[in-house]
């Protein structure tokens, strides 16, 4: 029996399965709060039904459309650069033959991932201030100081670049693992045919990485309407709300005070969009690259 043969693997999977069941699926009946005027002291069964009123309120509030656009723009750019930069870094790191140097570089670029945005937000506020080291360097180069976190035109760029700096090293791990699984015989055969490193990368390495790139891209589509609340909340201010306010910070700022139904409506809307995008991404992956999970 396959189960008896692999029971240890099923036991290892059990904590993750129970965690997902408890924290992801068990709370799902609470979705009905999105269609109610929910009162905790009354409960789900007796709270008044309001239909689509909570969704109408969200989309008719002043600035809500701009907030959705901000979220989409920031998320799309993070997804695109968050895929391209780690792949490029993994390819470059894979070319390093000195293992000591390679491990040192890996350790150095992994470290920011393990720091919270509370800490990094404070560091960025200091480094990118008008008196910070970055603007001092710009002044030394006879460039006017830039308000990276106080200028709406620069805020999105700052958010995207800082997110890439924090995550690209850790995100590259999965691509480094995929690179190590490529059959070396392919490279040896290509060398015999006279292919250099560039042609080997184009015709062997990148096609071998394509399946895992499709997986990472498809899974990232589910976070299209997230844009990283922790990061934005720790960096945003009133000067950049027009370009930097996202759905989560908008909801947090406007729907405080026990407005559970409105929060549930936003969560349901985001989950539905994420589900549609993941489904569409999976279909496109199957159609164009013949990638499938089952």
Taking the alpha carbons at both ends of the chain, their separation in whole angstroms is 21
Q: Which of 34-43, 74-83, 281-290 has the lowest mean pLDDT?
A: 281-290
59 has pLDDT over 90: no
152-166 per-position pLDDT tens digit: 889 999 999 999 999
Domain 34-289 sits in CATH at 1.10.3720.10
7-17 per-position pLDDT tens digit: 888 888 899 99
User: Average pLDDT in the 57-71 region?
Assistant: 85
pLDDT of residue 158: 92
Percent of the chain beyond pLDDT 90? 14
197 has pLDDT over 70: yes
294 has pLDDT over 70: no
Residue with tokens 């029971």: 7
In the structure, what pLDDT confidence band is assigned to residue 292 with cuts at 50, 70 and 90? low
Distance CA 232, CA 249 (A): 7
User: Average pLDDT in the 105-116 region?
Assistant: 88
Q: Which of 23-37, 236-250, 256-270 has the lowest mean pLDDT?
A: 256-270
In the structure, what pLDDT confidence band is assigned to residue 201 with cuts at 50, 70 and 90? confident
Q: Indicate the Cα dihedral angle 261, 264, 269, 270, nearest 10°.
A: 150
In the structure, what pLDDT confidence band is assigned to residue 78 with cuts at 50, 70 and 90? very high
Helix-strand-coil percent breakdown of the chain, rounded to 5?
Answer: 75, 0, 25
E strands in 187-249: none
288 has pLDDT over 80: no
Distance CA 28, CA 38 (A): 15
User: Average pLDDT in the 189-208 region?
Assistant: 85
- Of 76, 121, 109, the closest CA to residue 224 belongs to 76
18 has pLDDT over 90: yes
**What are the extents of the domains in the chain?**
34-289
pLDDT of residue 53: 87
3 has pLDDT over 70: no
For residue 262, what are its two tokens?
A: 């409105």
Classify residue 87 by burial, with Cβ atoms within 10 Å: 0-12, 13-18, 19+.
buried
- Of 268, 291, 266, 294, the closest CA to residue 281 belongs to 291
- 155: three-class secondary structure by DSSP: helix
Distance CA 128, CA 122 (A): 10
pTM metric for this prediction: 0.83
CA distances from 108 to 105, 113, 114, 165, 172 (A): 5, 10, 11, 11, 13
Distance CA 198, CA 88 (A): 13
More confident residue, 3 or 68: 68
pLDDT of residue 1: 54
- Contacts for 6-12: CB closer than 8 Å, 24+ residues apart: none
DSSP per-residue codes, 246-291 = -HHHHHHHHS-SS-HHHHHHHHHHHHHHHHHHHHHHHHHHHHHH--
């Amino acid at each position: 029996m396959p189960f008896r043969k692999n029971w240890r693997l099923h036991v290892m999977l059990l904590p993750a399965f129970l965690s997902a069941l408890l924290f992801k699926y068990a709370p799902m009946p609470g979705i009905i709060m999105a269609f109610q005027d929910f009162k905790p002291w009354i409960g789900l069964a007796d709270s008044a039904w309001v239909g689509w009123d909570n969704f109408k309120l969200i989309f008719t509030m002043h600035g809500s459309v701009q907030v959705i656009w901000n979220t989409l723009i920031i998320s799309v750019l993070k997804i695109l650069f968050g895929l391209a930069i780690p792949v490029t870094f993994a390819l470059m790191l894979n070319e390093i033959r000195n293992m000591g140097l390679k491990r040192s570089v890996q350790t150095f670029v992994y470290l920011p991932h393990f720091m919270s945005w509370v800490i990094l937000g404070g560091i960025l506020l200091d480094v990118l201030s008008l008196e910070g080291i970055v603007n001092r360097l710009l002044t030394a180069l006879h460039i006017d100081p830039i308000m990276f976190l106080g200028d709406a035109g620069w805020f999105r760029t700052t958010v995207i670049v800082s997110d890439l700096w924090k995550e690209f090293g850790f995100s590259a791990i999965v691509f480094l693992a995929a690179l190590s699984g490529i059959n070396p015989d392919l490279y040896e055969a290509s060398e015999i045919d006279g292919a250099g490193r560039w042609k080997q990368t184009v015709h062997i390495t990148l096609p071998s990485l394509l399946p895992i790139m499709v997986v990472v891209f498809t899974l990232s589509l589910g976070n299209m309407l997230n844009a990283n609340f922790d990061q934005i909340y720790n960096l945003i201010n009133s000067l950049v709300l027009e370009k930097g306010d996202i759905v989560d910070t908008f909801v947090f700022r406007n729907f405080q005070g026990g407005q559970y139904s409105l929060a549930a409506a936003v969560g349901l809307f985001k989950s539905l969009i994420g589900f549609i995008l993941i489904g569409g991404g999976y279909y496109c992956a199957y159609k164009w690259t013949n990638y499938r999970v089952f």
